[in-house]
């Protein structure tokens, strides 16, 4: 009996997985959060971000990442239940509307709520890509998404997504090894503190941009919800790309998958071509 085998691409990806990889590259490299806000409001983000906004955002980001993960993952079951992104976006809109109305003073209270909502959505995406939500590694991979909010256009790092993962690799590995069977409750563990500090330094940059946009008087409460929708959509998009890559790396040789990712990123113009 004749069997129709899938068409393979170098380095051995099926056509559907090649499509998934290309979609992941676009999700992870195409657009910054600042670009989303510019499209939404019709104005470019001011640079530099006011010092007080930056300080409050960085503090709030660290606290939000420290406190939200356990709550978010505890609210999810292991059974796949389809796409819940719209539900989480509606919740984010409510939280953002409150934040937009009150302003900067609300950030330490609003951000943990928004972050928890986003983590729930990220965990849903992870589970639907075959991740085990009970595994500490998956919880940390969900948290890792918040460090992907920077973008090469912002001159944060060259090499985009792969560079950020390389930067975080040791911290994530150390935290995963430490957590082991202990669970995520040990926020004060040195390995987790180091990871949270590293993640929040990048997450805080995007939080600063969101907060600065919500602080503009002509935007205020009316667009607070819309900005939080964009904020949530941004990290949902990154999560889809991140967990698609993790799935492909479980199926194929991770080194080859990442090499192909870099090739596609250059072909699509997201990265500069390497001169030989």
Give 151-188 pLDDT, tens digit per residue.
544 444 567 899 999 999 999 999 888 877 565 556 67
Cα–Cα nearest to 35, from 25, 26, 45 = 45
Domain annotation covers residue 6: no
Query: Is omega for the bond preceding 11 within 30 degrees of 0, making it cis?
Result: yes
| CB atoms closer than 10 angstroms to residue 208 | 22
Whether residue 211 lies inside any domain: the answer is: yes
Rounded to 5 degrees, what angle do the CA atoms 71, 62, 219 make?
95
Establish if 230 belongs to a structural domain.
yes
Supply the range of the domain harboring residue 40.
32-247
Residue 177 lies in a domain: yes
**Digit-coded pLDDT (tens) for 87-123:** 655 666 555 555 555 567 778 888 888 888 888 889 8
Q: Which two tokens stand for residue 167?
A: 């930067």
Quickly state the pLDDT bin for 275 (edges 50, 70, 90).
Answer: very low
136 falls within a domain: yes
- Is there a contact between 232 and 118 (Cβ–Cβ < 8 Å)? yes
What is the tally of structural domains in the chain?
A: 1
Judge contact between 234 and 34, C-beta under 8 A. Answer: no
Of 93, 104, 139, nearest to 119 (Cα)?
139
Does 168 map to a domain?
yes
Q: Does residue 269 lie in a domain region?
A: no
- Looking at the domain assignment, is residue 255 inside a domain? no
Distance (Å, rounded) from C-alpha 148 to C-alpha 152?
11
- The band of 125, judged by pLDDT with boundaries at 50, 70 and 90, is very high
Q: Is 191 exposed, middle or buried (0-12, 13-18, 19+ CB in 10 A)?
A: middle
Q: Are 132 and 78 in contact (CB under 8 A)?
A: yes
pTM equals: 0.85
Token pair listed for 12: 């051995």
């Amino acid at each position: 009996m004749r069997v129709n085998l899938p068409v393979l691409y170098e380095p051995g990806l099926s056509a559907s997985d090649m499509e998934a990889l290309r979609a992941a590259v676009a999700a992870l490299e195409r657009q910054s959060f600042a670009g989303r806000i510019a499209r939404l409001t019709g104005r470019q983000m001011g640079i530099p971000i006011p010092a007080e906004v930056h300080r409050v955002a960085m503090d709030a980001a660290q606290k939000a990442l420290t406190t939200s993960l356990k709550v978010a993952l505890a609210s999810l079951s292991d059974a796949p239940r389809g796409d819940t992104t719209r539900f989480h976006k509606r919740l984010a809109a409510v939280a953002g509307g409150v934040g937009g109305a009150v302003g900067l003073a609300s950030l330490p209270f609003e951000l943990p709520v928004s972050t928890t909502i986003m983590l729930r959505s990220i965990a849903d995406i992870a589970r639907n890509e075959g991740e085990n939500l009970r595994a500490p590694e998956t919880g940390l991979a969900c948290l890792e998404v918040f460090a992907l909010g920077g973008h090469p256009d912002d001159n944060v790092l060259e090499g985009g997504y792969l560079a950020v993962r390389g930067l975080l690799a040791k911290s994530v590995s150390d935290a995963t090894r430490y957590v082991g069977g202990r669970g995520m409750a040990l926020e004060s563990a040195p390995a987790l503190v180091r990871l949270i500090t590293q993640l929040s330094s990048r997450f805080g940059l995007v939080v600063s941009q969101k907060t600065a946009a919500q602080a503009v008087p002509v935007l205020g409460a009316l667009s607070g919800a819309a900005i939080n929708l964009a904020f949530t959509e941004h990290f949902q998009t990154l999560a889809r790309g991140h967990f698609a890559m993790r799935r492909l790396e479980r199926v194929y040789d991770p080194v080859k998958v990442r090499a192909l990712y870099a090739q596609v990123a250059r072909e699509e113009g997201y990265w500069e071509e390497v001169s030989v």
